[in-house]
Chains A and B, each alone.
Chain A
Amino acid sequence: IFAAIEEENDLLMTDEDVEEMIVLAFELLCGRRIPMLVFAYRGRWELAAALDNMEKARSEYRIAQATGLSRIRALASFVNNQNLKQNPEQETFLLQINHSADLLVEQAESFLDQKAETLMTYCLKAKKQPKSADMRWVKEQADVLSESLALWKEIRKAYERIGRIHAVLIKASERWEKFISTFAVSDDKLQIGKGLRGLKVLEKEIALDAEQKSDVCQQLAVFLN
């Protein structure tokens, strides 16, 4: 959800995410108060910068992960549509979009394997008996295969990106650890001061007052209509 907000891209949210946001909105309308802790750091700029870098890397990593997953789901939906098109009447095996990425990739891979094999076998037969070959079918199957292949490449690209960003995140977090150990006043003592410098923890609450509730209701009504 954070990834979708940061990227302003609704497609990074799943249906379940949307459902949870709607539930949360209704809970807030019913008067739920959600306690939260806010962390802030004031003090040495090196530390502040290191923390900033780490947070940035972390959020980029989250976005990359969400992007990868949405690419996988795009391929899974494509596979499902093809299976439905092929057997419109029978009960078809469909990929469960909310399954884990590993499982979806595995199933998509076997779809591509199967498509390629069927097409290859047909083409070899058609070469021997060109007159009885259904060229429209061959073209259709080739289009499906090439489109799934393109989606597969997208997934691969997204996952390579996740790997690269993960490395950046590890580096940033190592840097942060290094700064912490360099600048730490004492390793094992928690120092409590006036709160001008150091890590600040604030307790806040998310809740809606009457006016805000009315705003949310108006917005929800637009969506629901």
Chain B
Amino acid sequence: PPVVVAPKRDWYKALIEARRLI
């Protein structure tokens, strides 16, 4: 089976930054 890494910190960071802006 493929290696599915944990969700990356960068993904969350971008989301948090966007939510903060909105």
In Å, the complex CA distance between A41 and B18 comes to 62
B3 to A: closest C-beta gap in Å: 8
Indicate whether A145 sits within 8 Å of B2 (C-beta atoms), given known contacts A112-B8, A116-B10, A127-B21.
no
A123 touches B7 (CB 8 A): no
Question: Main SS of chain A's interface residues?
Answer: helix
**CB proximity to A under 8 Å, residues B1-15:** 1-8, 10-15
> Quick check: B13 and A120 within 8 Å, CB to CB?
yes
Q: How many residues of A contact B (CB 8 A)?
A: 36
Say yes or no: A123 contacts B4, CB within 8 Å: no
Is A155 a contact of B4 with CB atoms below 8 Å? yes
Residues of A within 8 A of B11 (CB): 112-113, 115-116, 145, 149
Closest residue of chain B to A166 (Cβ to Cβ) is B1
Given A126-B21, A138-B18, A152-B7, do A116 and B2 touch, yes or no (CB 8 Å)? no
Chain A residues within an 8 Å CB radius of B21 = 123, 126-127, 133, 135, 138
Contact assessment for A141 and B18 in the assembled complex, using a CB-CB cutoff below 8 Å: yes
> What distance in Å separates the Cβ of B6 from its nearest Cβ neighbour in chain A?
7
Q: Which of B2, B3, B15 contacts A146 (CB 8 A)?
A: B15
Instruction: Give the distance to chain B from A100, nearest Cβ to Cβ, in Å.
Output: 8
Chain A residues in 8 Å Cβ range of B12: 149
Contact indicator A145/B4 (Cβ below 8 Å): no
- The docked-state distance in angstroms from the alpha carbon of A89 to that of B7 is 32
A residues touching B (Cβ–Cβ < 8 Å)? Answer: 65, 68, 72, 101-102, 104-106, 109, 112-113, 115-117, 119-120, 123-124, 126-127, 133, 135, 138-139, 141-142, 145-146, 149, 152-153, 155-156, 159, 162-163
Q: Which are the 4 A-B pairs with shortest beta-carbon distances?
A: A142-B18, A116-B14, A120-B14, A102-B2
Interface residues of B (CB under 8 A from A): 1-8, 10-15, 17-22
